[in-house]
Structure 1
Amino acid sequence: MTRIVLVRHGQTAWNREVRFRGQADVELDEFGLQQAQATGRYLAARWPVVAVYASPLRRATQTAEAIARAHGLTAHPLEGLLDINFGEWQGLSPDEVAQRYPALYRAWWEAPHTVRFPGGERLDDVRSRVVAALDDVIARHPEQAVALVSHTVANRVLLCAVLGWGNDRFWRLRQETCAVNVFDAEDDGTFTIVLLNDTCHLQGLSESERI
């Protein structure tokens, strides 16, 4: 059995401004750094790990570095944990997208599994690579606990895969900034869910934008 502690990165300016982030390399803001530090302390105390892997985008690596420091570890980049490529939507606000791509924007909310972003990816593309990354980590770390730090889209599709859901149920899962999810990869190839979208460790910090 391998225990996976799946974390979403901390808050960025584009979270506050409600912009499609995707593969834009946006840094954590000051509050996001506080969230990351609180998450590191929480995991070290409650869900300790022996290794930390992260999407190579800075908002994820900064979060992973805070988690790794709390464990006396070094964070390692893992390409498969990259956020979705939103293509032409990247950097735009929802209002801007709704004006420029009204039909596709409606589809994103109503049938997200059908959408390919102009110049970008589909949810199926992201799911293929995050599941491959998960399989690689499980193979490297039998009988150990490992942290993966990624993004809301990547986390949601990975959790859909773990739950045995299709990507049509994408919106059924929430992933707040620095949310913690825990699941066990059993030796028979099944998964046991332990925790979803936990943000109790952020209590006492200023309220974050929940997007």
Structure 2
Amino acid sequence: MSLKLYFIRHGETTYSKTGGYCGILDPELTPEGLEMAEQFAKTHSSLNWTATYVSPKKRTIATAKPLCDAVGLEMQIRDGLKEIAYGKWEGETPETVNRDYHDEYVRWLTDPGWNAPTGGEKGIDIARRSSQVIQEIQDNHETGNVLVVSHKATIRIMLCDLLGIDIGRYRDRIAMLVGGVSIVEMGDHGPLLHCLSDRCYLDEKLRSLQGT
């Protein structure tokens, strides 16, 4: 048996609905986001779970809670799984950021690995802190299923890091819908991606909520 990492992006929030930048902000899940968490737990509670590692934000904790309650797992809260800090862009729309911080916005769009939102984090900084959590998981769990509950940019960066994709291309190469589940098996030949941003566990109504 190998180690499988189940990365899930948290359920819907008001910011994922509107497209505003939400990193250090701490909104609750919407009612639909809570439904996503419940449906994930219902579908996946029969798996033999080893551990759950969770970002400390309300939206990720609420996403992990139904499964943890169902299978009796304690959440391992890790700051390294937090979302990118958007600095002065927090809560703003892309249109507003493009107007008010145009040059920095263009640089970030061009290469978010080495350019940060105004006062925020570079992609390489997120890769560095999140990779420490992945290493901790590998050190603590040689086999089993481990749930990692995090955020849109952070999961995309972790997947790029694991799969050998340039961190600066995380926004161009990997899509990550709200509630999307990606599975990576840590095998003898390195990380193997089994699925990306899968949402087949959701009912038709919730699958129609794309989110940003």
With the length of structure 1 as denominator, give the TM-score of the two structures: 0.93
Runs of 4+ residues over 3 Å off in structure 1: none
Q: For this pair of structures, how many residues does the alignment match?
A: 209
SS of the residue aligned with 2:22? coil
Letter in 2 for 1:40: A
SS of the residue aligned with 1:159? helix
Q: 2:123 touches 2:168 (CA, 8 Å); kept in 1? A: no
Is 1:25 matched with 2:35? no
Q: 2:6 touches 2:148 (CA, 8 Å); kept in 1? A: yes
Aligned residue runs from structure 1 range 24-173, under 5 A: 24-45=25-46, 47-170=47-170, 171-173=172-174
SS of the residue aligned with 1:112? coil
Query: How far, CA to CA, are the matches of 1:185 and 1:132 in structure 2?
Result: 15
RMSD over aligned Cα atoms: 1.5
Deviations 1:155-209 (A, max 9, x none): 0000001111111221210111110011111256x11111111011113234214
Q: 1:65 touches 1:74 (CA, 8 Å); kept in 2? A: no
Query: How far, CA to CA, are the matches of 1:205 and 1:76 in structure 2?
Result: 31
**What runs of 5+ residues in structure 1 fail to find an aligned partner?**
none
**What runs of 5+ residues in structure 2 fail to find an aligned partner?**
none
Q: 2:104 touches 2:118 (CA, 8 Å); kept in 1? A: no
Q: 1:107 touches 1:114 (CA, 8 Å); kept in 2? A: no
SS of the residue aligned with 1:4? strand
Letter in 1 for 2:23: G
Structure-2 residue corresponding to 1:194: 194
With the length of structure 2 as denominator, give the TM-score of the two structures: 0.92
Q: Which moved more, 1:105-114 or 1:119-128?
A: 105-114
